Structure 1
Amino acid sequence: MRYELYYWPSIQGRGEFVRLALEEAAAEYIDVARAPSDRHGGVSAMIGIFQDAGHPHSPFAPPFLRAGKQLIAQTANILLFLGPRHGLVGQSETRRLWTNSLQLTIADMLTEVHDTHHPIGSGLYYEEQQSEALRRAEDFLRHRLPKFLAYFERVLADNPAGERYLVGNALSYADLSMFQMIEGLRYAFPHAMSGAARAYPRLIDLHDRVAARARIAAYLASSRRIPFNDTGIFRHYPALDRPAR
């Protein structure tokens, strides 16, 4: 099966968590909005899905994935679908649900990252809410980020199968997503993350091992990997990386 991934073509965003899973699985897929229009790609092809009134499950927003006749929306839901089909989650129901719960917690964390630079509204420019962003980023870096990272560090430490993976003794899509979170946080908040290796050694080790996996390393070095930029979820604003104390 060739999957069709629908996401904005110029940012990593939430679609990147799906891309990483597809790349690690060596799955055949097309990133539809990044494909040329003469190959039925482009943003217009993605928008066309929203306008397809005949589809009973039209998604609210990207990312969404077409797999045969199925159209699956929401990042965690897509990964819940892909995981068992590509060996990226344990076979037991307990492990599938636990992996999904970790992914949903990562989704909560990602929302809080976004809200550091857009705390009032997504329809406003950062410059229109900069004072509020400073306050939000300060609280996030002082309280929320350590709470999230300490939790996932503890999940690794308490894994009965060892400290190499978040779930069981093999890579899961939750590990790939945590890699992406660490990558994004280092880009957005290099000052705040400078001591992460000392404070969260298991998480940083997990990040480094994921980055070194052959398929992930090849993907990261390829043009398929969209660079971080100032329109995505992870944005580097120096003022927010050193919030006022």
Structure 2
Amino acid sequence: MEMLVNENCGLTGKIAIVFGGSRGIGAAAARRLAREGADVTVTYVSAPERAAETVGAIEATGRSGLAIKADNADPAAIKAAVAQTVDHFGKLDIAVVNAGILMLGDVEMVSVEDLDRMLDINVRGVFLAIQAAAARLTEGGRIITIGSNTAVRSGHPGSSVYSMTKAAVAVMVKGIAIDLAGRGITVNNIQPGPTVTDMTADHIDAIRPLIPLRRAGDPDEIAGLVAYLARKESGYMTGSSLTIDGGMAL
């Protein structure tokens, strides 16, 4: 069955890196890309055992996986992860930028340290990951960022800074898509709504009633959209932000 998926979906022979790929949406994306034929690097910061599990799942599909420790707030680590991927696999075709953090707080409560941390990882880190990957991507490559539907819908108190960072990513993607269009590289942004992951565990129940479909998303559903944007058939889409949130932003 795995071979049928690989042959039909067109990612066989492709090399991908998933920044923040050890768990949650990133891990689901890494597994899906592997099922569709890609060899995949995943980066992680503080969960080496989860990264190893993801690599194991990649290898279970018959593809090759690689885990690299790299903090998205560290420009040197980001560049090194891309370089190691190219050295290991010989090229880079797909970059998924999933690394990010969620810190909630009313405007009076957000510390300068928390503000800087979210900006460093959710905005600066995304830009640096795209920049590092773009320098090594093959012609016609793919860049896919994982943003949030809060870029278009801030539905609860305490999300102002997080929403701001995700809105920045949506605008960033538009400009970078133009920069890279001459090389046939597409750059698109996925904006998930509430999705069941470690990061959302503490507040997902409170948000669920706000979702028209009355359920949270599954990481594999987001990964399916990642796979579409990675494939050849999506080649005429670039600079777009695609919201997948059970109807919250309607």
Task: Give yes or no for TM over 0.5.
Answer: no
Higher-strand-fraction structure: 2
Larger radius of gyration: 1
TM-score (norm 2): 0.35
Greater relative contact order, per chain length (Cα 8 Å cut-off, separation 6+): 1
TM-score w.r.t. length of structure 1: 0.36
